[in-house]
């Protein structure tokens, strides 16, 4: 892999991570207001599992 391609890959990963973090914050706000919005605990647990799996993926330093 060329250094340029590697830097582009890191840029893309960083961008995805930023979007993912904002999504998590959105989910967290929904979770806080879960009773008002009627969000099922199943959907929240799926989100937690997906998050945990993504955290397990090793990121190149």
Say if pTM beats, i.e. exceeds, 0.85: no
Structure tokens at 50: 């997906």
The stretch 6-27 carries a mean pLDDT of 86
Cα distance between residue 11 and residue 60, in whole Å: 12
The answer to whether residue 34 sits within a structural domain is yes
The answer to whether residue 61 sits within a structural domain is no
pLDDT tens digits, 18-58: 898 888 888 877 777 665 555 566 777 778 888 888 888 76
Domain containing 30 equals 3-56
The answer to whether residue 28 sits within a structural domain is yes
- The domain tally of the chain equals 1
pLDDT of the residue at 51: 84
The answer to whether residue 44 sits within a structural domain is yes
pLDDT of the residue at 13: 86
pLDDT of the residue at 61: 57
The answer to whether residue 33 sits within a structural domain is yes
């Amino acid at each position: 892999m060329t250094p340029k391609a590697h830097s582009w890959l890191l840029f893309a990963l960083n961008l995805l991570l930023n979007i993912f973090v904002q999504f998590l914050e959105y989910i967290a706000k929904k979770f806080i207001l879960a009773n008002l919005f009627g969000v099922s605990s199943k959907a929240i647990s799926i989100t937690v599992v997906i998050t945990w799996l993504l955290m397990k993926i090793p990121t190149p330093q």
